[in-house]
Structure formats: structure tokens, C-alpha cells
Amino acid sequence: MNEDKLTHLDNEGRIRMVDVSEKSETERIAVARGQVTMSPSTCRMILEGNVTKGNVLTTAQVAGIMAAKRTGELIPLCHPIPLTDVEVRFSVQADAGTINIEATAKCVGRTGVEMEALTAVSVAGLTIYDMAKAVERTMQIGGIRLVRKSGGKSGTFVREGEEDDV
């Protein structure tokens, strides 16, 4: 952690929303990733569109985008942010039973969009689980992480080991 103190606490240790009014507006971009693991047969069913609830990946993509837009309502001290773009993408390795999720959130503002990207990945994963749970309840959602962020005073962050992937 770069900071010596938690920014959501005031001098008396009370919880607070961070005041960003003095920060400069800059373009801010965040990329997050995660995955859903399952049996190869369930993964193939999703990929081939054979899940009775409908198109799993399209529904999860829309759910992730919608969730990013509502992050300020879901995370108690998160600022509502006027997003300029949200993308949710999937890469499927059916033989391995893995659906990788990547979300990118963008805005021009005074605070970052890391939480929006992370929320998009999380809800996309939850939606995949929800739509395919009748087929397999042992699916796992995991590995949710920030892999890149840029903009603002703290500059650019790229997660070690994922430099070439973003």
C-alpha cells in the first residue's frame, strides 16, 4: 500500500467518503479480470448456446456493463462516476472449462474507475453462474483482480506478471 493511512477514515477514525473536489479531472481507465471455472462439458454448453436460460455470455456481458454503471450504489463509499465507456469481454477455453472475463471502465473525472471494472467482472461471473447453475452447481468464480489502471495523481499501475497482456 502506498499510503500511510486509510483514506476512508477521518482524523477521528470515523468513516467518510473521500473528498475529491480538489483533484484534477483526467482520463481514467481501469482493467480488471477474473474467471469462472467449470467442467469442460458445461463450458461447451455455454459456448454452443445450449443452456436453457438463453445466451449466457451476452447476458453476462450486459449484466457486467449495467453493474459497472451502478457501482456507486453497491459499494457504500464509492463515488457515483459518469462513465464514458465500459467493455466486458470473454475468452473461453472449453477444454479447460474456463471462461476468462475482462472488463475495461473509462471516464474523465476526479477519481478512478477501478471499482467499476472490478464490479463488472464480478457481476458478469455471477451471471454466468446463475444462468448455468442448473447444469453445474460446482462452478467457481475467482481470480478477480485489477490488472491495470491509469490516470490521476498516482499515475499508472500494471499488475506484475500481466504487463504484456493489457
Residues serving a catalytic function are 130
Contact criterion met (CB below 8 Å) for 144 and 115: no
Q: Looking at residue 79, what DSSP letter applies?
A: P
114-132 vs 40-48: helix crossing angle, rounded to 10: 100
Give SS3 for 57: helix
List beta partners, residue 18: none
| Separation between Cα atoms, residue 75 and residue 120, nearest integer Å | 13
Which residues, at least 6 apart from 146, have a Cβ–Cβ distance to it below 8 Å?
A: 30, 31, 32, 114, 117, 118, 157, 159
Closest CA to 154 of 39, 3, 48: 3
